[in-house]
């Protein structure tokens, strides 16, 4: 599909949407991790030690400023004592 009269193509819209979607997802996941960590009375340092990560790494994840893979997310979930579905379900 070609650009017509300044209207974005489907690919341009999808790329912009996907970039925004992933950024929002990282932010949402970070907030969920923070909520659960605080609910359990854990400090960033304690979570980092339990997850075998650096505290700065946890902070960047909680702020949504760090790209990470499912393995890191699984380490954090395990350290928090929750399953990976913590992303979807409220405790």
Q: What are the distances in angstroms from CA 32 to CA 27, 60, 61, 84? A: 9, 13, 10, 11
Q: Is the pTM of this model over 0.75?
A: no
Give residues with Cβ within 8 angstroms of 53, minimum separation 6.
72, 75, 76
Residue 19 pLDDT greater than 90, yes or no: no
Reduced to 3 states, what is the DSSP secondary structure of residue 7?
strand
Q: Which band of pLDDT confidence, cut at 50, 70 and 90, is reported for residue 27? A: confident
Domains parsed from the chain with CATH numbers: 10-87 (1.10.260.40)
**What confidence tens digit (pLDDT) does each residue in 31-62 have?**
999 999 999 999 999 999 999 999 999 999 99
- How many CB atoms are closer than 10 A to CB 48? 20
Q: Which band of pLDDT confidence, cut at 50, 70 and 90, is reported for residue 81? A: very high
């Amino acid at each position: 599909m070609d650009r017509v009269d300044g209207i974005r193509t489907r690919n341009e819209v999808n790329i912009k949407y996907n970039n925004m979607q992933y950024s929002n997802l990282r932010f949402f996941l970070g907030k969920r991790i923070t909520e659960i960590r605080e609910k359990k009375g854990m400090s960033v340092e304690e979570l980092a030690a339990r997850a075998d990560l650096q505290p700065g790494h946890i902070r960047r994840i909680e702020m949504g400023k760090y790209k990470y893979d499912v393995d890191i997310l699984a380490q954090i979930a395990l350290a928090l004592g929750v399953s990976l579905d913590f992303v979807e379900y409220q405790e």
